[in-house]
Structure 1
Amino acid sequence: MSWFESSIMARKGVAGGKPGASHKIGIEDQGTFHYVYGPYAEPVLHVEPGAVVTVETHDAFEGKITSESDKPTELLNFPYLNPQTGPILVKGAEKGDALAVRILSIKPRGPQPVGTTCLLPEFGGLVGTGDTAMLNPPLPEKVKKVNVTEQGVEWSDALTLPYEPFIGTIGTAPEIEAISSLQPDYYGGNMDLPDMAPGAIVYLPVNKAGGYLYLGDCHAIQGDGELCGVALEMPATVEIQVDLIKGHGNGWPQLENEHSMMFIGSSRPMEDAARIAYRELVRWVARETGQTESEAYMLLTMCGKVRVGNMVDPKYSLGASIEKRFVK
């Protein structure tokens, strides 16, 4: 039996993890992209649980940075960054459920050089920002364009980095708010977590009937923390399979892959993001194993792990995980 057959999605999904009808959202189908996660946009697609959806996404800059001589501040209109495809309405989804999104593939899309990274004034993990005010002058703007294929990331003539794609921004609509696609929170959003990669399943809380799934901001590779604030951004073709878990009840994003279970918390300061993620993981371990929360708390002290998604966004994202072999 494959690990997927024992996953939450396969065991508890309305479609039992079985693929359903196929759909596609191309750039033209989407039309206007969204820069907030909210419940008020008209869904671009209605699907049944089990649907397999191929989605074309823009990079974080909606393709506006085309050359290494470009100055991002002259081309970008902050806060209109991280354009999102969607929303996708999942039939039968109600508040208290979860959308299960299995990431099947992520492929670079468009003419080379597909990848873009850059330094933006007063943005990043090692510079003064609007929230961390310093007298130092901002670093100068700098753009780097990179060829990206499924065989590797051509960083320089001497160095090819591995192609490790993931979805930087994915989530469901909040119940009442419309929140910037730059910000992560309980609904998911701009978590920038490299584990959101092909093979993983993310469980996102449903806050509004239909769920309203958004996604975008794919990356070809990123280190922990997304240090300068911009990973290797790329337009992509993403294939996902969407199912529905009735009454799942988790209030924060949960990620499952072959070896681990993870919960993702987003907050400032960073330790509060870690606390949210670990609290949710403690509660899940206790439910799964029949241990008390105190026993699960002690177990995770021994074998829990933390992954930094981003340390640059309006809220930081951390994932707390445990290997499935320890959940017995």
Structure 2
Amino acid sequence: MIVKEIKQPGKYSYVFSRYAEPIVHIEPGETVAIYTKDAFENRVSKETDLPSKILEGDPNPQTGPIYIDGAEPGDTLAAHIINIEPTRGYAVSAHKPGLGGLTPTRSTPMLAEPMPEKVYIYKIEGDMITYNDRMSYPWRPFIGTIATAPRLEALSALTPFDNGGNMDTPETKPGNIVYLPVNIPGAYFYTGDCHAGQGDGELCGFALEIPAKVTIKFDLIKGKSINWPRIESPSEFMAIGSARPMEDAARIAYAELIEWMVEYGWDKYDAHQVLSQIGKLSVGNMVDTYYSLVAKIEKKYVKF
């Protein structure tokens, strides 16, 4: 299998937008290897590289937009995540003033002092990500940011919304399919912000950030529209909602999952009952401009 390699030819994008020039055209059914930078623009390599000092603005560079030939509004883009490979031997995380779930931020101001800034450099050692003897975690790679362009507006690359975006859910991982709405001709696909692992919620605002080579196979589902991103694993159906407050994100995710079940022949109120008893809910992030929640159900409860 010949895989086309895609690298950003110029400046990386910090928005999801239809107004940028596509960096490449690909055909549905094609498999590509996309190279991404980490959330810190690959500029943090040691513990003295404080993000507040070296980053000029908000982080999260994106590779794209990638034009999917034949994609039209009302279609659905299916991104089969095949592999995520780190392109260096370490991951970076940090505490940054003004970012995180347990520190004052612009949207949740407090009189308390912000958390002090600190950088953590983790070695990638086989299947483990290690800072010290007590802080060592398994390799659990996923894509933090995966999106199509909105219909009209340009959204910050820090923002998760109905086009996908910075959802930071560990479910966007190898072996799973991410379904995204197509809002404009060509879809304009973006990705970046890969992670070596992350806990639910991305509590401090940064996961185990890595640059990566991401291998994805694209398919196009013609004439089928979705309202919010969906994920399919070998065993589960999932839908993602992004909003504030967090309960609205949960409502969006469960409503989209019910819609998916209806497509399999379920009565929507029966689907509501099933999810009330056996559905699952996880937090992708609780720190971004919007929060992302993932509603899940095992396939065995959905398929007749």
TM-score above 0.5: yes
> Match for residue 248 of structure 1?
224
> Match for residue 34 of structure 1?
13
- In 1, the alpha carbon distance for the partners of 2:190 and 2:232 equals 19
Deviation at 1:22? Answer: 2.6
- Contact 2:66 / 2:188 at 8 angstroms: preserved in 1? yes
- Contact 2:24 / 2:66 at 8 angstroms: preserved in 1? yes
- Contact 1:100 / 1:244 at 8 angstroms: preserved in 2? yes
- Contact 1:226 / 1:310 at 8 angstroms: preserved in 2? yes
> Match for residue 66 of structure 2?
88
- In 2, the alpha carbon distance for the partners of 1:245 and 1:150 equals 37
Q: What are the ranges of 5 or more consecutive residues in structure 1 without an aligned counterpart?
A: 1-18
1:307 equivalent to 2:282? Answer yes
Aligned pair partner of 2:255 in 279, 294, 317: 279
2:206 is paired with a residue of what secondary structure? coil
Deviation at 1:69? Answer: 1.4
Deviation at 1:151? Answer: 1.7
- Contact 1:108 / 1:149 at 8 angstroms: preserved in 2? no
> Match for residue 132 of structure 2?
156
- The one-letter amino acid paired with 1:263 is A
Deviation at 1:159? Answer: 4.7
- The one-letter amino acid paired with 2:86 is P
- In 2, the alpha carbon distance for the partners of 1:305 and 1:194 equals 15
Deviation at 1:30? Answer: 2.8
- In 2, the alpha carbon distance for the partners of 1:169 and 1:48 equals 22
Using structure 2 for the length normalisation, give the TM-score: 0.97
- Contact 2:80 / 2:218 at 8 angstroms: preserved in 1? yes
- In 2, the alpha carbon distance for the partners of 1:291 and 1:253 equals 20
- The one-letter amino acid paired with 1:266 is S
Deviation at 1:298? Answer: 0.7
- Contact 2:26 / 2:66 at 8 angstroms: preserved in 1? yes
- The one-letter amino acid paired with 1:140 is P
- The one-letter amino acid paired with 1:319 is V
Identity of aligned residues (%): 50
> Match for residue 76 of structure 2?
98
1:219 equivalent to 2:198? Answer no
- The one-letter amino acid paired with 2:19 is Y
> Match for residue 69 of structure 1?
48
> Match for residue 118 of structure 2?
142
1:30 is paired with a residue of what secondary structure? coil
1:47-97 alpha-carbon deviations (Å, 9 max, x no partner): 110111101110001111121012221111222x11000111111100010
1:171-196 alpha-carbon deviations (Å, 9 max, x no partner): 00001111100000000000000010
1:211-270 alpha-carbon deviations (Å, 9 max, x no partner): 010000000010000001111101111111011011221011000010000000000000
- Contact 2:283 / 2:292 at 8 angstroms: preserved in 1? yes
- In 1, the alpha carbon distance for the partners of 2:134 and 2:229 equals 39
**Mapping for residues 1-328 of structure 1, pairs under 5 Å:** 22-26=3-7, 29-79=8-58, 81-110=59-88, 112=89, 114-288=90-264, 290-327=265-302, 328=304
Using structure 1 for the length normalisation, give the TM-score: 0.90
- Contact 2:40 / 2:51 at 8 angstroms: preserved in 1? no
- The one-letter amino acid paired with 2:282 is R
- The one-letter amino acid paired with 1:310 is N
Residues 243 and 150 of structure 1: CA distance in aligned 2, closer, same or farther (over 3 Å): farther
- In 1, the alpha carbon distance for the partners of 2:213 and 2:125 equals 12
Deviation at 1:150? Answer: 4.5
- Contact 1:103 / 1:239 at 8 angstroms: preserved in 2? yes
2:231 is paired with a residue of what secondary structure? strand
Deviation at 1:137? Answer: 1.0
2:277 is paired with a residue of what secondary structure? helix
- Contact 1:58 / 1:217 at 8 angstroms: preserved in 2? yes
- In 2, the alpha carbon distance for the partners of 1:309 and 1:140 equals 24
- In 2, the alpha carbon distance for the partners of 1:102 and 1:153 equals 25
2:19 is paired with a residue of what secondary structure? coil
1:214 is paired with a residue of what secondary structure? strand
1:111-166 alpha-carbon deviations (Å, 9 max, x no partner): x3x20000010210011111111001111110011112452111313553100000
- Contact 2:120 / 2:131 at 8 angstroms: preserved in 1? no
- In 1, the alpha carbon distance for the partners of 2:75 and 2:266 equals 24
RMSD of equivalent CA atoms = 1.2
- In 2, the alpha carbon distance for the partners of 1:291 and 1:240 equals 31
Q: What are the ranges of 5 or more consecutive residues in structure 2 without an aligned counterpart?
A: none
